């Protein structure tokens, strides 16, 4: 089967309005911040794919190792009819699951959901070509607030991989997991990938690679704001910072102004002043402990059924049931 036409629940207009709102709120706040979802235009998505191949960036490889070892367990335990993937991006690791379900039988539909139309077009076309028996329904939506758009019925498995849960603050995380539970029927499944707490040096290196790809990815948010909102940020005027917060157990990415500057954001009719050394927080990426993620799932109404790590104990994949 060829992929079905994308179901678009997020109009360009909604995205534009949201970006304007986020930039106005974030850049007039103290300290300044921008949400990480705006990294991912076509160039940002490519840079992220490049990050996943860097020697320092262990999460993708570690998660792939877990899925390689346990995809068959996941297919057998869940017996899912529908696999929904949130923030699917290139759907690369998902193939490990699709292959396991092909061996096991029973999976009829794959539903990748992402905010990026371009990433979804590519992913759905490739998956549909490679898995001809599968119904492939791509959905353009924002999983942080459109979980009500998930298809219903059948035994569903929702996969939320890559450690993206860590981009949410603890309060947002609790709200997200509860909303996820509400969107599911009792008996449905959640497969959750989370990066684990480890030696801070290992984590910092993963977010500050020696080739400078992550720095380029970080600055990309400024290029997006320049293009979409007519701003005049000089991306090279900012230093890339990756900082481990030991109390909150998360890594923070920031952009630090190399000198004092005034930035014009034409479409918001807004001037933003930055002092020399002033920072804009662009991402948090929380790292988890096994007991912690299990407790968070239980608070949201899930029952953890299994959890696996890679041999290095770097990354955790948890299977929970609604």
Contact between residue 89 and residue 119 where contact means Cβ atoms under 8 Å apart = yes
**How far apart, in whole angstroms, are the C-alpha atoms of residue 22 and residue 61?**
32
Q: How far is the CB of 233 from ligand AVJ (least distance, A)?
A: 19
Q: How far is the CB of 209 from ligand AVJ (least distance, A)?
A: 9
Q: Which residues of 213-246 are buried (b: 16+ CB within 10 A; e: fewer)?
A: bbbbbbbbbbbbbbebbebebebebbebbbebee
Q: How far is the CB of 54 from ligand AVJ (least distance, A)?
A: 9
Angle, in degrees to the nearest 10, between helices 94-104 and 58-78: 20
284 labeled binding residue: yes
**Which of 155, 164, 186, 196 lies closest to 294, judged by CA?**
196
Residue keyed to tokens 């367990």: 73
Phi, psi of 320 (to 5 degrees): -130, 155
β-strand partners of 272: 263
Nearer to ligand AVJ, 114 or 188 (CB): 114
Nearer to ligand AVJ, 80 or 284 (CB): 284
- Looking from the CA of 281 toward its CB, the CA atoms found within 13 Å total 18
Nearer to ligand AVJ, 36 or 265 (CB): 36
Q: How far is the CB of 52 from ligand AVJ (least distance, A)?
A: 8
207 labeled binding residue: yes
Nearer to ligand AVJ, 123 or 268 (CB): 123
- Residue facing ligand AVJ at closest CB distance: 285
Nearer to ligand AVJ, 35 or 166 (CB): 166
Q: How far is the CB of 206 from ligand AVJ (least distance, A)?
A: 7
Binding site for ligand AVJ (CB under 6 A): 51, 59, 162-164, 166-167, 207, 214, 283, 285
283 labeled binding residue: yes
Contact between residue 78 and residue 322 where contact means Cβ atoms under 8 Å apart = no
143 labeled binding residue: yes
87 labeled binding residue: yes
Binding site listing: 57, 87, 93, 114, 142-143, 167, 207, 283-285
Binding site listing for S-adenosyl-L-methionine: 87, 93, 114, 142-143
């Amino acid at each position: 089967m060829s992929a079905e036409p994308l179901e678009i629940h997020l109009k360009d207009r909604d995205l534009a309005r949201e970006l304007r709102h986020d930039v106005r709120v974030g850049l007039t706040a103290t300290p300044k911040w921008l949400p990480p979802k705006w990294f991912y235009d076509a160039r940002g998505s490519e840079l992220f794919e490049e990050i996943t191949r860097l020697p320092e960036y262990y999460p993708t490889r570690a998660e792939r190792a877990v899925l390689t070892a346990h995809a068959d367990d996941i297919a057998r335990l869940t017996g899912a009819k529908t696999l929904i993937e949130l923030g699917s991006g290139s759907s690369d690791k998902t193939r490990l699951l699709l292959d396991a379900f092909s061996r096991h039988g029973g999976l009829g539909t794959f539903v990748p959901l992402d905010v990026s139309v371009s990433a979804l077009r590519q992913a759905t076309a490739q998956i549909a070509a490679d898995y001809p028996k599968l119904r492939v329904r791509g959905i353009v939506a924002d999983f942080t607030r459109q979980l009500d758009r998930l298809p219903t019925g059948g035994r569903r498995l929702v996969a939320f991989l890559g450690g993206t849960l860590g981009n949410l603050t603890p309060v947002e995380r609790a709200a997200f997991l509860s909303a996820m539970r509400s969107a599911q029927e009792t008996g449905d499944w959640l497969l959750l990938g989370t990066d684990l707490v480890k030696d801070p040096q290992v984590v910092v290196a993963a977010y500050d690679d020696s080739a400078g790809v992550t720095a380029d990815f970080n600055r990309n948010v400024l290029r997006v704001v320049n293009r979409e909102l007519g701003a005049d940020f000089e991306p090279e005027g900012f230093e890339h910072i990756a900082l481990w917060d030991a109390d909150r157990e998360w890594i923070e990415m920031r952009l630090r102004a190399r000198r004092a500057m005034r930035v014009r954001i034409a479409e918001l009719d807004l001037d933003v002043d930055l002092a020399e050394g002033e920072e804009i927080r662009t991402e948090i990426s929380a790292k988890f402990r096994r007991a912690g993620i299990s407790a968070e799932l239980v608070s949201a109404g899930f029952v953890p059924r299994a959890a696996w790590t890679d041999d290095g104990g770097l990354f955790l994949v948890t299977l929970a049931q609604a």
